[in-house]
Structure 1
């Protein structure tokens, strides 16, 4: 399956910004079944400096600085992807490892992959392990279940017990509040999953990217109607990272496009940086369009 993704981000300020320095996680990355065919990023006003690189996790980054006064900032990214459909999910579902076996391997990590995976059991800036989070997920796992079966049961539990409500949270809403009110958006469900599964000792990382949405039968797809999406992945030793989408209760295949992954949202924020002046407020507008090509 081939896709074209356009991600347009615009900021408008109440007063001119004198200068700004930014880092963007908006460029695509290659994965086991995903390949970027082409991409371009256009920043306006034109930066005095712009360069691309990779962060600690191998995500593609773009650094730029603008040193002319401006009241509007625009970052327009167009990327082309090819995603191969494989039997990876079927292989993952057949994997026999249990939670107990995973924890035993992590207790004495004797490979580079195990040592790297342990980083995703630790607390991160926006996700902290706790007993209430562990208790919420504990009943999804048992001695006679495989790890994948347990994580699928947990994903289904989040899907059925939580309500999607864009007005109930912000990027700073604590996990304890999300757990109590049982509502939020995909980022909240991903962070909640990270907190619960890490609290049980399961290496879990935050996935950021896009999800193709299809219009109802007989209706045209609206330009810009798609959105950035978040889900999570767990580590299976000697197998790899397996992805889960609790917002939709599915294991991602060829409709999830990965942009970046990290410990939590703070590692893969689409745009972060520093501005000088710009007034006391700003307006953010984001448009995402995912098309099959």
Structure 2
């Protein structure tokens, strides 16, 4: 693994209303997950109006969640997060997959299987997704697990059209397959469902992506989404089908979950006339600095 790259992530979300409204509880997942390949150097969170109470918790996935409650009405609600981190990248990772899992199909051990039930459970099974997933299986010879997953990741990057969407929710996997287009979260959910149809364990990842100058990487300027697949011996391996990235290069993990609705970067409630909502502006920048 190379030496660290020092990155600063600035994530600002602004809700605007035509008149003062009241705010319910808001939950934020802005703080990256510290690990052997990411070290958090500093973190600052500014919220306007100032919450009556702000506290932190770890959810069931050990994601860091900030929870704000408000007593003041306002016509604008601002969440401004800034974090600096050291990011250790493996540009061409080689994974020590257990020999029994190097070729598909394989069977997880009993201990692994019992822990991975939710990571293998499909939410929207569909025959078209099954057929598409099976198209990556080699015929007449052994199917390398990593080759299968690399080919599927590359197929989405090369054959699907990336379209940034700001509205909530994701397409059903079969719809993304039919449209041959979608956002990063649509692509992640499609690939999660496809690999689960093949018996593999996968989970959704929400975070950020560093886009170097003059780079063709998609997903910059907003939060990003990809997936991880559990491969015995290698553990949870990152796959970004939006950019055909395997490994953590440029990827900054914030939250992991079995499904996308469990890893929303920001969600909350407000009370007021429905017509008073003017819109949401989200700006994300990831820059390389000195720590």
Band of TM-score, shorter chain? 0.7 to 0.9
Task: Provide the residue aligned with 1:90 in structure 2.
Answer: 94
Among 225, 232, 236, the residue aligned to 1:230: 225
Task: Provide the residue aligned with 2:19 in structure 1.
Answer: 15
Q: Following TM superposition, by how much is the alpha carbon of 1:40 offset from its aligned partner in structure 2, in angstroms? A: 1.5
Q: Name the SS of the counterpart of 2:206 in structure 1.
A: strand
Task: Provide the residue aligned with 1:99 in structure 2.
Answer: 104
**Matches of 2:38 and 2:68 in 1, distance apart?**
26
Deviates more, 1:230-239 or 1:86-95: 86-95
Q: Following TM superposition, by how much is the alpha carbon of 1:83 offset from its aligned partner in structure 2, in angstroms? A: 1.5
Task: Provide the residue aligned with 2:283 in structure 1.
Answer: 287
RMSD: 2.3
Among 53, 58, 79, the residue aligned to 2:57: 53
Q: Is the 8 A contact 2:89 2:250 kept in 1?
A: no
Task: Provide the residue aligned with 1:270 in structure 2.
Answer: 265
Task: Provide the residue aligned with 2:137 in structure 1.
Answer: 141
**1:167/1:77 CA distance change after superposition, 3 Å:** closer
TM-score by length of 1: 0.87
**Matches of 2:167 and 2:274 in 1, distance apart?**
25
Where does the alignment leave 5 or more consecutive residues of structure 1 unmatched? 218-224
**Matches of 1:85 and 1:173 in 2, distance apart?**
31
Q: Is the 8 A contact 1:24 1:271 kept in 2?
A: yes
Q: Following TM superposition, by how much is the alpha carbon of 1:290 offset from its aligned partner in structure 2, in angstroms? A: 0.7
Q: Is the 8 A contact 1:4 1:79 kept in 2?
A: yes
TM-score by length of 2: 0.87
1:1-293 matches, within 5 Å, as: 1-86=5-90, 89-92=93-96, 97-101=102-106, 104-105=107-108, 109-111=109-111, 113-123=112-122, 127-142=123-138, 144-166=142-164, 171-216=169-214, 226-277=221-272, 279-280=274-275, 281-293=277-289
Where does the alignment leave 5 or more consecutive residues of structure 2 unmatched? none
Q: Following TM superposition, by how much is the alpha carbon of 1:282 offset from its aligned partner in structure 2, in angstroms? A: 3.7
Q: Is the 8 A contact 1:134 1:197 kept in 2?
A: no
Q: Is the 8 A contact 2:196 2:202 kept in 1?
A: yes
Q: Following TM superposition, by how much is the alpha carbon of 1:132 offset from its aligned partner in structure 2, in angstroms? A: 1.6
Cα shift readout 1:82-117 (whole Å, capped 9, x = no counterpart): 12234882125796522322xx22xxx432x44222
- Number of equivalences: 277
**1:157/1:69 CA distance change after superposition, 3 Å:** same
Cα shift readout 1:18-56 (whole Å, capped 9, x = no counterpart): 232111111111134112121111111000011011111
Q: Name the SS of the counterpart of 1:39 in structure 2.
A: strand
